[in-house]
């Protein structure tokens, strides 16, 4: 009887181990690093509980509950992961650094911000409307894969070629990941409020670009920049709020705060989820 219990326990451990591999791969691809770490820790305790049936059963349920809860919260991402997701590179050192919140690339980030801001105000001068979204911790894979894949540094010529009104890619948003343009013509969730308040002023009509810029920051932790085609104003969105008509210094300060020196608390990501 004891021998049978050990065989069943071993089979259970193998099943949980395989389930953990798939789950951790999903977490890494969607940058849910804290949940992945918690999952790994519960699996380690589960292994240590072999020989103690009640502890073993408790941690099996806890381990599986994490997966079910995450699948419930990230339904859209789960569906996309299992239907369309392709092979993932696990030898990326940057992924490990992100897992532990390490950012040793501040100089590169500052250079990226300078180029981005120059490009944005160049578009504004020419009255070229634009919507630029910058991914942070929550993955934007779903929106990236609904657009057109691009792999390019951020510069004015590329952004102008995308957003000029004769380009087939000018509708939708450009998405930036790790300082690179990864997709264009990405369609985002819109803010559907009839009335929007911006710095104490009530706006009854904002265009689709502004509503999309706000909408993506309500459903993820991304930040967005929108250039108005009508009046050349540049606005910045974070946490579902919009800062309207910023100058280059104000935009730089906002981006630096949110991208280089940002510390996104787990509670915020949990709330967004």
Choose between 265 and 3: higher pLDDT.
3
pLDDT bin (cut points 50, 70, 90) of residue 105 is very low
Task: Quote the percentage of the chain above a pLDDT of 70.
Answer: 75
Asked whether residue 120 carries a pLDDT value surpassing 90, the answer given is yes
Q: What is the DSSP string of 128-161?
A: --EEEEE--SS--HHHHTTSEEEEEE--HHHHHH
Q: Does residue 255 register a pLDDT over 80? A: yes
Q: In which band, very low, low, confident or very high, does the pLDDT at 192 lie, cut at 50, 70 and 90?
A: low
What is the per-residue pLDDT for 162?
94
Q: Could you tell me if 143 and 37 are in contact, meaning their C-beta atoms sit under 8 angstroms apart? A: no
Binning pLDDT at 50, 70 and 90, where does residue 126 land? very high
Which parts of the chain are beta strand (E)? 130-134, 148-153, 173-177, 180-186, 196-198, 201-203, 223-227, 234-238, 241-243
The burial class, CB within 10 Å (0-12 / 13-18 / 19+), for 73 is middle
Domains of the chain, by residue range, sit at: 2-99, 106-272
pLDDT interval class at 267 (50, 70, 90) = low
H-helix or E-strand spanning residue 113: helix 106-125
Structure confidence by residue, pLDDT tens digits, 214-245: 989 988 889 999 999 888 899 999 988 888 88
Q: pLDDT class for 91, splitting at 50, 70, 90?
A: very low
Strands 180-186 and 173-177: antiparallel
What CATH superfamily classification does 106-272 receive?
Answer: DNA integrity scanning protein, DisA, N-terminal domain (3.40.1700.10)
Average confidence (pLDDT) over 7-14: 74
Residue 232 backbone dihedrals phi, psi, to 5 degrees = 65, 15
- Nearest by Cα to 146 from 83, 207, 95, 90: 83
Number of Cβ within 10 Å of residue 255's Cβ equals 22
Phi-psi region of 239 (alpha: psi -120 to 50; beta: other; left: phi over 0): left
**pLDDT classification of 263: cutoffs 50, 70, 90:** low
Rounded to an integer, the average pLDDT of 63-89 is 69
| Position 128 confidence tier, pLDDT thresholds 50, 70, 90 | very high
What is the DSSP code string of 57-88?
A: HHHHHHHHHHHHHHHHHTHHHHHHHHHH----
Provide the pLDDT for residue 13.
Answer: 78
Cβ atoms 179, 155 nearer than 8 A: no
Terminal Cα distance for the chain, rounded: 45
Mean pLDDT in residue range 174-200 = 77
Q: What pLDDT sits at residue 181?
A: 93
């Amino acid at each position: 009887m004891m021998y049978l219990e050990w065989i069943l326990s071993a089979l259970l451990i193998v099943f949980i181990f395989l389930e953990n591999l798939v789950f951790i791969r999903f977490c890494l691809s969607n940058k849910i690093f804290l949940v992945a770490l918690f999952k790994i820790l519960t699996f380690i305790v589960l292994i240590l509980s072999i020989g103690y049936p009640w502890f073993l059963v408790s941690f099996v349920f806890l381990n599986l509950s994490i997966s079910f809860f995450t699948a419930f919260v990230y339904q859209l991402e789960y569906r996309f992961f299992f239907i369309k997701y392709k092979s993932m590179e696990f030898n990326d050192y940057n992924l490990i650094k992100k897992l532990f919140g390490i950012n040793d690339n501040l100089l590169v980030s500052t250079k990226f911000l300078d180029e981005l801001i120059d490009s944005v105000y160049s578009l504004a001068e020419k009255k070229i409307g634009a919507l630029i979204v910058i991914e942070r911790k929550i993955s934007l894979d779903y929106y990236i894969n609904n657009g057109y894949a691009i792999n390019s540094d951020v510069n004015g010529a590329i952004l102008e070629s995308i957003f000029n009104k004769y380009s087939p890619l000018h509708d939708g948003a450009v998405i930036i990941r790790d300082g690179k343009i990864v997709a264009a013509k990405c369609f985002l969730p819109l803010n559907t409020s009839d009335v929007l308040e911006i710095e104490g002023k009530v706006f009854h009509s904002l265009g689709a670009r502004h509503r999309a810029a706000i909408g993506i920051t309500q459903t993820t932790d991304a930040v967005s920049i929108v250039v108005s085609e009508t009046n050349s104003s540049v606005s910045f969105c974070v946490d579902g709020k919009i800062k309207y008509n910023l100058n280059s210094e104000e935009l730089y300060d906002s981006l630096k705060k949110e991208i280089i020196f940002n510390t996104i608390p787990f509670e915020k990501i949990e709330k967004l989820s």
